[in-house]
């Protein structure tokens, strides 16, 4: 084979490699879903999102207003608006509901009776809100590792008959 033919063959292989690496275009976009994450102060919303984003759980500080985190999964990205759970912030939750496609409600399983009652009221308010009432809800019972944590049946009995517990 002549030097010219060898050079042409290498150029053609370089061209094919270039096309394979550079001309495929961007990878297909993963769908994005907008969620809202609510719950009382100290229920574990920030810790949950930090864990899902593979961030260090050290130095987690309660959210005083709101924060937005992009939680990447293999086939989708969840854009989660975490709303602070303090009394003075909860009255503004509904301002952040627009555009949400799902709700994560974080419940402290080991909370006091008063906090459990407040959580129940907030949950029922969210379930009835016009912008949320048709959306999927995930109720996450956090702090199950604490000695005062309530059983699934206790939480279900307390939160009300509008909920269907999932026991897997």
Q: Which domains does the chain have, with CATH numbers?
A: 32-159 (3.40.50.300)
User: How many Cα neighbours within 13 Å face the side chain of 21?
Assistant: 6
Dist CA 93 CA 66 (whole Å): 9
Q: Does residue 56 have a known ligand-binding role?
A: no
Q: Does residue 129 have a known ligand-binding role?
A: no
Taking the model in full, what pTM does it have? 0.78
pLDDT in tens, the chain (168 residues): 555 455 555 555 555 555 555 656 666 677 999 999 999 999 999 999 988 888 887 777 888 888 999 999 888 999 999 999 999 999 999 999 999 999 999 999 999 989 999 999 999 999 999 999 999 999 999 998 999 988 888 887 777 755 555 543
Q: Does residue 24 have a known ligand-binding role?
A: no
Q: Does residue 64 have a known ligand-binding role?
A: no
Q: Does residue 40 have a known ligand-binding role?
A: yes
Q: Mapping DSSP to helix (H, G, I), strand (E, B) and coil, where does residue 105 land?
A: strand
Q: Mapping DSSP to helix (H, G, I), strand (E, B) and coil, where does residue 88 land?
A: helix
Structure tokens at 107: 């419940």
Rounded to whole angstroms, what are the CA distances from 129 to 57, 78, 95, 104, 146?
32, 22, 11, 14, 32
Judge contact between 40 and 143, C-beta under 8 A.
no
Q: Does residue 75 have a known ligand-binding role?
A: no
């Amino acid at each position: 084979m002549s030097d010219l033919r060898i050079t042409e063959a290498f150029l053609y292989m370089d061209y094919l490699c270039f096309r394979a690496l550079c001309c495929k275009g961007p990878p297909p976009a993963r769908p994005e879903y907008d969620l809202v994450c609510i719950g009382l102060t100290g229920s574990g919303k920030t810790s949950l999102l930090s864990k899902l984003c593979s961030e260090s759980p050290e130095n987690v500080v309660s959210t005083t207003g709101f924060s937005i985190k992009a939680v990447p999964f293999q086939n989708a990205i969840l854009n989660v608006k975490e709303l602070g759970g303090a009394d003075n912030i909860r009255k503004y939750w509904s301002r952040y509901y627009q555009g949400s496609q799902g709700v994560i409600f974080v419940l402290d399983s080991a909370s006091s009776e008063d906090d459990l009652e407040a959580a129940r009221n907030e949950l029922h308010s969210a379930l009835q809100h016009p912008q949320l009432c048709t959306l999927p809800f995930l109720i996450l019972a956090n702090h199950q590792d604490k000695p005062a944590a309530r059983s699934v049946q206790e939480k279900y009995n307390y939160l009300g008959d509008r909920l269907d517990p999932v026991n897997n």
